[in-house]
Structure 1
Amino acid sequence: MIPVNSKTIVFVTGAFVTHRGWDNWKLYFESRGYTTYAPPWPFKDASPQELRALHPDKNLGLSRLTLDELVDHYARFVTSLPERPIAIGHSLGGLITQILVNRDLVAAGVAIHSVPPQGVFPYEFSFLKAGWKVLGILTSLDDTYLMSFEDWQYAFVNEMPLEEQKAAYEANTIPESKVVARGGLSSAAHVDFEKEHPPLLLTSGSLDNIIPEHLNRRNFNHYQKNNSIMEYQEFEGRNHFVLGQATWREDADYILNWLKKLSAAPVAPAAV
């Protein structure tokens, strides 16, 4: 393995939430010598309040965004940088990170509570309960989807105090493209699990309803154990709001230490 010496990080945002959820993570890694970016999705470069005011989109842009277009958006961004960056993605951003890693467009990837690629079937009840509404079954694809506070409580912030749940909802939730969500079930979400690839770390949380731990582990286990560097880590007490939980710095510390190991010397593939 060639050591990973990139000092650039691109944070890849997931569905339902603003890219500003990475603000603390950006400051954390910048204070440790990294140059960081958290580019918004197309049609999402505004505050959560402004974006919610546009809901439903009524075919103005976001509602027609596809997963293929979104992946291409991030692919163009990472390839425009002076060096191959490290991609760190959450949820659907984790899936996009896995795709970028698979295409050899980044130096390494970290997929946090990642939506699984095509071929890893999410049969878990909690996944279906938390995520089925965004697919827009029997509703118009010309309208965006905005997660209700009740659904937010189940899908993202379960086990947190009520006031923290409300504050997190107000600061983070934004409308979503149903077409992008459906793309997660199509070939747009394809990953070649047999292909050698840059180092990849997958993390999961014991409290996550929308992407439960065993779904994350099945995602990891689909990769063929070849010469690629793979690692899997479950964190206790993490729900899907992992980026904003009080424990976020512990997760960032683990990721930072993993990156340091990659930069230090050749590493043998990790066994789980």
Structure 2
Amino acid sequence: MAVTGTPVVFVHGMFLHAASWASWVELFRTAGYEPAHPGWPGEPRTVAEARREPGRVAGIGIDDIVAHYAQIIRALGRRPIVIGHSTGALVAQRLLDQDLAAAAVALQPPPIKGVANLAPSSIPVGWPLLRNPANRRRALSLTARQFRYSHGNALSTTESDQLYRQWAIPSPGRPVFELVCANLARRSPATIDVANPARGPLLMIAGGRDHSAHRTVVRATVKRYRAAPAVTDYQEFPDRGHSMPIDSGWREIADATLVWMQQRLG
């Protein structure tokens, strides 16, 4: 069991609402942690509201998201374990690098600055969003078909469509442009000090069938981190896609995360 009151902060990724962490929150609370799953800045409280008011997140960038969670964490009075998915996994790494987290779990993260994304599977994910430069300032939505490719390709069409109806919301387009241009930008918000020897333990998790965060890209990120003495662990689930934390197999990933936390943090 965790030490009573150990805080855990969950950070969701693009096109998913914070409430999609609900099953994890319940499980972690039962395990003795004190979980929280706040949304991104400007994100409405419910999925329905987020769909009705997409403009509330338009123009928000990665630095804005990091600053938002940093403020939440400082109010806790204690460094939490941060668990992030997709773009939220990058946010988790940024918070760990800033010593605002005791440890971090990065589920299916995008490449940080210095890691090339050469996976062909990611092109159909990003191109529909990137082809119009004005999308940088807008809130964007995925169609059910786009969601199936980017998130639900390892699922049945029925399950993917159900998850889309339940959790998909508009997201700011700016982070997509920031991530794609990370290796070209002088001051990219995807910059992490991979040589930071003082940071807490980090677990990186990849899905073998993930179109959005290809396993080879995640492995390349892990390789960069392992040049430093701080703990960096890696787990891969061969048959999983980008829907890993929200689909019917979520418990396998959550249990593996809990085991790792117990091993590394006690």
Same fold (TM over 0.5): yes
What aligned pairs does 1:1-272 form with structure 2 within 5 A after superposition? 7-55=6-54, 57=55, 61-135=56-130, 137-184=132-179, 185-186=181-182, 187-196=188-197, 197-264=199-266
Contact 1:135 1:179 in 2 (8 A): no
**How far did residue 153 of structure 1 move?**
0.8
**How far did residue 142 of structure 1 move?**
4.0
RMSD: 1.7
Contact 2:16 2:168 in 1 (8 A): yes
Contact 1:10 1:38 in 2 (8 A): yes
**Letter aligned with residue 17 of structure 2:** T
Task: Find the aligned partners of 1:170 and 1:160 in 2 and give their Cα distance.
Answer: 15
Between 1:154-163 and 1:137-146, the stretch displaced more is 137-146
Query: Normalising by the residue count of structure 1, what TM-score does the alignment of the two structures yield?
Result: 0.89
Query: Normalising by the residue count of structure 2, what TM-score does the alignment of the two structures yield?
Result: 0.91
Residue matched to 2:185: none
Task: Find the aligned partners of 1:141 and 1:93 in 2 and give their Cα distance.
Answer: 18
Contact 1:91 1:112 in 2 (8 A): yes
**How far did residue 53 of structure 1 move?**
2.4
Task: Find the aligned partners of 2:80 and 2:133 in 1 and give their Cα distance.
Answer: 40
Contact 2:125 2:146 in 1 (8 A): yes
**Letter aligned with residue 22 of structure 2:** D
Contact 2:137 2:174 in 1 (8 A): no
**Which secondary structure does the structure 1 equivalent of 2:161 belong to?**
helix
How many residue pairs match? The answer is 257
Contact 1:206 1:234 in 2 (8 A): yes
**Which secondary structure does the structure 2 equivalent of 1:222 belong to?**
helix
Residues 58-97 of structure 1 deviation map (CA, whole Å, 9 limit, x = unaligned): xxx4111121111111111112213110000000000111
Gaps of 5+ in 2: 183-187
Between 1:46-55 and 1:182-191, the stretch displaced more is 46-55
Q: Quote the sequence identity (%).
A: 29
**How far did residue 236 of structure 1 move?**
2.2
**Which secondary structure does the structure 2 equivalent of 1:166 belong to?**
helix
